[in-house]
């Protein structure tokens, strides 16, 4: 395939940035989107130009690093996949593809397609953990009964990879889907009940401090989330927050 790539280039966080056009050919339909960008970058390096900076690590849908906007959609046109799992067969020969960084006040751009998502780390540090006594008297986790439904819902919430697509697709740049997944994965389990109040209050407070907006139930986050995190988690977090506040 021959493609025209329109890519956001920005030298650093102070640079104004802008879209630049790059033709690429010899793109196989079997390549992943990131492999296609590798081909582009190899060509740029050979020409002595600066390669396009983009985040990636696992390249198998686990780490949540490969966050970018492709033709106006977080992680591109496929559903339930990250950018590294997106294949070029989703595009046609001759296509023009727009590639931009995630845009949100809480995710400042570092360079080109790379944004700073450490705000998510700080939210998790505020409460995304449990404190377990590991002195030797710890109760075996397998000896604590958990309803199957609760275990399944907690597991589903725990599949959030912190990619930030929910924030990027929300018109308010809300991080509620991410934060609610991180609250739910603990609040549904007995091990998470001990710090439940403190957790939800601290994480929501940190979320607000980081400059993320509020949820207005549009649901774009759920549609674009590569892990299918449900809006039910936001409802659960709101109930947890209300309980903890009174």
Q: Which of 166, 176, 183, 237 binds ligand SF4 (CB under 6 A)?
A: 166
Determine the interface stretch with ligand SF4 among 49-57, 129-137, 177-185, 206-214 (rule: CB under 6 A): 177-185
177 sits near ligand SF4 (criterion: CB under 6 A): yes
Site residues for ligand FES, 34-73, by CB under 6 A, read: 56-59, 61-66
Asked if 128 is part of the footprint of ligand FES (rule: CB under 6 A), the reply reads no
Which residues, in sequence order, are CB contacts of 31 under 8 Å at separation 6+? 39, 87, 88
Which of 165, 176, 183, 204 is in the footprint of ligand SF4 by CB under 6 A? 165
Residue 72 neighbours by CB distance under 10 Å: 10
Piece of 5-13, 25-33, 43-51, 174-182 that binds ligand SF4 (CB under 6 A): 174-182
Give the sign of the dihedral formed by CA 178, CA 167, CA 245, CA 124. positive
Q: What's the rounded Cα separation, in Å, for the pair 155 and 233? A: 12
DSSP notation for 36-85 = HHHHHHHHHHHTTPPPPP---SSSSSSS-----EETTEET-SSSS--GGG
Contact of 34 with 66, CB cutoff 8 Å = yes
3-state secondary structure 114-163: EECCHHHHHHHHHHCCCCCCCCCCCCCHHHCCCCHHHHHHHHHHHCCCCC
Spatial CA neighbour of 168 closest among 238, 120, 105, 232:
105
Query: Which 151-180 positions form the footprint of ligand FES (CB under 6 A)?
Result: none
Does the protein bind ligand SF4 through residue 86 (CB under 6 A)? no
Fill in the per-residue mask, 80 to 99: x = in contact with ligand FES (CB under 6 A), - = not in contact. --xxx---------------
Residue 204 touches ligand SF4, criterion: CB under 6 A: no
Q: Is-contact 168 103, C-beta < 8 A? A: yes
Residue 84, binding choice from ligand FES, ligand SF4, none, Cβ under 5 to 8 Å by partner class: ligand FES
Query: Measured from the CB atom, is 27 or 215 closer to ligand SF4?
Result: 215
Counting contacts by CB under 6 A, is residue 173 touching ligand SF4?
Answer: no
Sites of contact with ligand FES (CB under 6 A): 56-59, 61-66, 82-84
Sites of contact with ligand SF4 (CB under 6 A): 160-166, 177-178, 181, 225-227, 229
């Amino acid at each position: 395939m021959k493609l025209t790539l329109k890519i956001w280039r920005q030298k650093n966080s102070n640079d104004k940035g802008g879209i630049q056009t790059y033709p690429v050919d010899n793109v196989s339909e079997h390549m992943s989107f990131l492999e296609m960008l590798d081909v582009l970058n190899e060509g740029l390096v050979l020409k002595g130009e600066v390669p396009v900076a983009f985040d990636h690590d696992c390249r198998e849908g686990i780490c949540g690093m490969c966050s970018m906007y492709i033709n106006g959609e977080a992680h591109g046109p496929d559903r339930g996949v990250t950018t590294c799992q997106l294949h070029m067969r989703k595009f046609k020969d001759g296509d023009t593809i727009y590639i931009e960084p995630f845009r949100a006040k809480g995710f400042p751009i570092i360079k080109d397609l790379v944004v700073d998502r450490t705000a998510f780390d700080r939210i998790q540090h505020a409460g995304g953990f449990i404190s377990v006594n590991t002195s030797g008297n710890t109760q075996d986790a397998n000896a604590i009964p958990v309803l199957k439904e609760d275990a399944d819902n907690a597991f589903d919430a725990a599949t959030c990879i912190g990619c930030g697509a929910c924030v990027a697709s929300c018109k308010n740049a809300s991080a509620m889907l991410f934060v609610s997944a991180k609250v739910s994965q603990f609040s549904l389990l007995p091990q998470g009940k001990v710090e439940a109040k403190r957790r939800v209050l601290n994480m929501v407070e940190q979320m607000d401090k980081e400059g993320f907006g509020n949820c207005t139930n549009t649901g774009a986050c759920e549609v674009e989330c590569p892990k299918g995190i449900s809006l039910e988690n936001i409802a659960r977090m709101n109930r947890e927050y209300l309980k903890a506040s009174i």
